[in-house]
């Protein structure tokens, strides 16, 4: 019985050991006025992949009155072949992300904005040259 429990615990902990680093970029807004960049850790799961990490949001729109606005945020994503869901957490807000897993395009819903367009792109770590769309098979 103890052997069975040990084997189950080993397999349950395995996805955490498979974490890999991926670069992340994206755009938020009707005119892509916010740019996102950062690095996310990828963990393969039974249903797809989870991504999590810190990022920087930078306002690149024309209406920047006092210069470039920049915010730090944390993102968590759950990606399957058909759907992407997650959260974007900033100091002043917590937003929900829902997107198509095949395109990485979807909507961001925050306290002050409902259904704002978002486009996401996650690629391998810098040492490789190929890039993968968020919704590709993990």
According to CATH, the topology of domain 19-124 is Lipocalin (2.40.128)
For residue 74, what pLDDT is reported? 97
pLDDT in tens, 5-45: 333 434 444 444 456 889 999 999 999 999 999 999 999 99
pLDDT in tens, 44-101: 999 899 999 999 999 987 776 677 789 999 999 999 888 899 999 998 899 999 998 7
Domain boundaries in the chain?
19-124
pLDDT in tens, 115-136: 999 999 988 765 433 444 454 4
C-alpha–C-alpha distance, residues 17 and 113, integer Å: 37
Burial of 19 (0-12, 13-18, 19+ CB in 10 A): middle
* pTM of the complete model: 0.72
């Amino acid at each position: 019985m103890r052997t069975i429990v040990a084997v189950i615990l080993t397999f349950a902990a395995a996805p955490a050991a498979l974490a890999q680093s991926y670069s992340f970029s994206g755009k938020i807004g009707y005119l892509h006025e916010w740019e996102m960049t950062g690095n996310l850790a990828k963990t393969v799961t039974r249903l797809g992949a989870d991504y999590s990490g810190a990022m920087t949001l930078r306002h690149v729109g024309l209406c920047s009155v006092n210069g470039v606005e920049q915010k730090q945020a944390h993102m968590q994503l759950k990606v399957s072949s058909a759907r992407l869901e997650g959260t974007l957490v900033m100091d002043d807000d917590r937003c929900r992300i829902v997107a198509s897993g095949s395109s990485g395009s979807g909507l961001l819903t925050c306290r002050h904005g409902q259904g704002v367009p978002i486009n996401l792109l996650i690629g391998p770590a810098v040492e490789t040259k190929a890039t993968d769309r968020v919704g590709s098979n993990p």
